[in-house]
Amino acid sequence: MELSLHSLLTAMRWAGCGEPHLIFAGGNRYIPPAADDRLKRETLSELSGLGLADGTALDPDFEQVLRIIDRPYTEYYAYLRTHEQQYGVLVAVQASTAIVALHHAERVRLDVVADEDLPAALVSHLPAIEPAEFTPFSVAAYDYPGYRIEARWLAKILAAPQFGMGHLYTARRAKNGSRGRTERPVSYLDTEYGRVGIERDTSDYLTVFPGEPGRLASRLAAARSTLD
């Protein structure tokens, strides 16, 4: 299903949800009291037209989707940018149900995730770009820029024309409700060489690798395991 960001956030507020996820940033706005009734009618009209509300009551299945987005046990999410657009993607998981939310240009698309490989489900929403072809390498952050061959390779990659980038994160919620997130993202750059993945570890080493979907997904899965 696809709906406006405003209607999604309004429905989440009606359902008693908390602060929206950061991929929905910019959707909340001040509504003057004089416009409140009109916007409420417009929201209910949109939701009813999609079968997501009956009168002033939210559809129970839709309300469950909202609660999964609001407080997922596990999250995989990404901030993505191309020359033409930027958007956010969230894969939110509770129990055996996973929902993907794609936010772009004040619209949100919601779908149930069929893929059991949830990191791969997130990566599947990245722009389709061929991976760069090279042998993965690592370089200490303090060696860049520098004269070591790995540092020179990284400098060459970063100097190439770029037309897209993304940062992929994962988070989990503990039994007490607290939320923990990986400190460092799995990132990629879309360059004239192809997609290049970059990950900085806790030892301040940069691992640079071809940005194949499987490599990005496996690194995101490994990052998730550090939160257990």
pLDDT mean over 184-210: 92
Phi-psi map region of 105: left, alpha, beta (phi>0 left; psi -120 to 50 alpha): left
- With tokens 């024309």, the residue in question is 161
Q: Kindly state the average pLDDT of the residues 125-142.
A: 90
pLDDT reading at 83 higher than 60:
yes
For residue range 3-60, what is the model confidence (pLDDT) as tens digits?
A: 999 999 999 999 999 999 999 986 455 555 545 667 788 999 999 999 999 988 999 9
Rounded CA-CA distance 204/182 in Å is 15
Residue ranges per domain, the chain? Answer: 2-117, 137-226
The position carrying tokens 């406006």 is 4
Separation of alpha carbons 18 and 103, rounded Å: 18
- The pLDDT score that the predictor gives to residue 37 is 66
Range with the poorest average pLDDT among 42-56, 66-80, 144-158, 204-218: 144-158
Q: What is the mean pLDDT of residues 64-80?
A: 96
Q: How far apart are CA 20 and CA 125, in angstroms?
A: 21
- Structure tokens, 127: 């722009």
Provide the pLDDT for residue 183. Answer: 86
d(CA 65, CA 102): 14
Task: Please tell me the pTM assigned to this model.
Answer: 0.91
Q: What pLDDT is attached to residue 105?
A: 87
Q: Is the pLDDT of residue 212 over 60?
A: yes
